[in-house]
Amino acid sequence: MRRIRSQGITRPKISTMPRNQSEASNQLELYKLITEKQRIKQELVFIEQRKVLLTKDLSTLQAQIDATDKNIKHLRGSELRVPPVARPKIFFETNNYKAFDIEY
């Protein structure tokens, strides 16, 4: 599983000591910028893949919701046509017990 980074603003990496202006220091800065650009592009690809996956999951869930809703409506319609069944009642005559109904 990939670790999700915080959604805050990306801060540039700061060196503790300023470098002397030279060709090597500029090449290092260029390398850092290119590396950060590649990382951001890779992150955008990951986000797009995740978006496609989540959209697919949403459509699957919506289909399941619709099927379940249709099944509930079908069952409600069939319940109206079935006559109600008489509830059995159980009574105990002993003083230690109280009478109660059992529904099933």
- pLDDT of 9-54, one tens digit each? 767 666 667 767 889 989 999 999 999 999 999 999 999 999 999 9
Query: The whole model's pTM is what?
Result: 0.50
Residue 89, φ and ψ in degrees, nearest 5 = -120, 140
Which pLDDT value is given to residue 48? 97
For the chain, the C-alpha Rg in angstroms (whole number) is 34
- C-alpha 26/C-alpha 29 separation (Å) is 5
Q: How confident is the model at residue 78 (pLDDT cuts 50, 70, 90)?
A: confident
Pick the residue with more confidence: 68 or 16?
Answer: 68
* Percentage of the residues of the chain whose pLDDT score is greater than 90: 44
Which pLDDT value is given to residue 36? 95
Domain edges within the chain: 48-82
- CA-to-CA separations, 59 to 47, 54, 63, in angstroms, rounded: 18, 9, 6
Cβ atoms 87, 103 nearer than 8 A: yes
Cβ atoms 70, 26 nearer than 8 A: no
Element (H, E) at 5: none
